[in-house]
Structure 1
Amino acid sequence: MTTAADILALATAKGVMIATAESCTGGLISGALTDIAGSSAMFDRGFVTYSNAAKTDLLGVPAAMIAAHGAVSEDVAAAMAQGALARSAAQIAVSVTGVAGPGGSDAKPEGMVCFGVATAQGVQVETVQFGAIGRANVRAKTVEHALGMIAAALTAI
């Protein structure tokens, strides 16, 4: 499991800054990254864009994209990550949008989370289904997975 301390060491060694764009985690990824002394060397900023309007206003996600695909989609996750990268001094931006629960639908069940990671080389997206494991657990698993994606992006730079 990748820890925020691992990311701090990798990012600092490479001189890379990180930004986050979070929906279902409400800032927990930013919190994990900034929980460590010295994190200002690698953390630029975090966007908590819980509402669709915030995704559009702060990250530039087209409202038409949200209407067409829904906020919980790989398209929106990609746009969120790209928006955070463009609106920060970071070289890596991670985004998350999902259904933490309770609830969901057949198409977008509880525990479904879409992730995006943007760098100058492009954006990667993936969807993970954590299952109906409870809101707190979905959010914790989302933070853990996002940290792993950041670490992978750091090793690729």
Structure 2
Amino acid sequence: MTVAALLDRARSLGLRIATAESCTGGMVSAALTEVPGSSDVFERGFVTYSNAAKQELLGVASATLAAHGAVSEEVAREMAEGALRHSQADLAVSITGIAGPGGSEHKPEGRVCFGLARHDGPTRTLTVEYGARGRALVRQAACQEALTLLAGALDDGQARGGRAP
């Protein structure tokens, strides 16, 4: 699905989208806003590169960061859910990862965790191991995966517009 088609689908369902990005630094937001007229669907984006920003802007718990680290499905979940709480969006995607260079034995370069939250269903998380293919390629692949996750949420027939009371 193209980004324009993704936005059209969200529009037809009456949904607004938010993003919470770390390693992609706003690339998903940029892809969504590249399309003219996206402002009626794209509600806002959070670029929360530091742990402090994740806590202050999205409400990620310091205990979650301490227990699991920033690159974890637990943090991705809290980022996505925080993006919903701190916006007027109905659907939010989050990304946190190690684009490289670097990494460790336990958190290798190329590991990226995603969260997908919406008001009308459970939050889903996913970890993708892109490998050490270089910072630019990992970031681009993560951006594309986030767009794919959004498109899938819109196509699964479960997403419906309107915020819960």
Same fold (TM over 0.5): yes
Aligned to 1:106: 105
Deviations 1:28-80 (A, max 9, x none): 00000000001001100000000000000000000111011000000000000
Name segments (4+ residues, structure 1) moved above 4 Å. Answer: none
Give aligned-pair identity as a percent.
58
Aligned to 1:32: 31
2 CA distance for matches of 1:99 and 1:16?
30
Aligned to 1:128: 128
Aligned pairs for 1:69-148 within 5 A: 69-120=68-119, 121-148=121-148
Aligned pairs for 1:42-57 within 5 A: 42-57=41-56
1 CA distance for matches of 2:5 and 2:115?
20
Q: Secondary structure at the match of 1:97?
A: strand
Q: Secondary structure at the match of 2:24?
A: coil
Alignment RMSD (CA, Å) = 0.7
1 CA distance for matches of 2:40 and 2:134?
34
Q: Secondary structure at the match of 1:44?
A: strand
1 CA distance for matches of 2:7 and 2:38?
6
Aligned to 1:5: 4
Q: Secondary structure at the match of 2:11?
A: helix
2 CA distance for matches of 1:141 and 1:6?
19
The Cα shift of 1:15 comes to 1.1
2 CA distance for matches of 1:134 and 1:24?
13
The Cα shift of 1:104 comes to 0.3
2 CA distance for matches of 1:72 and 1:17?
26
Q: Secondary structure at the match of 2:46?
A: strand
Q: Secondary structure at the match of 1:128?
A: strand
2 CA distance for matches of 1:64 and 1:53?
13
The Cα shift of 1:3 comes to 2.5
The Cα shift of 1:152 comes to 0.8
2 CA distance for matches of 1:23 and 1:99?
9
The Cα shift of 1:12 comes to 1.1
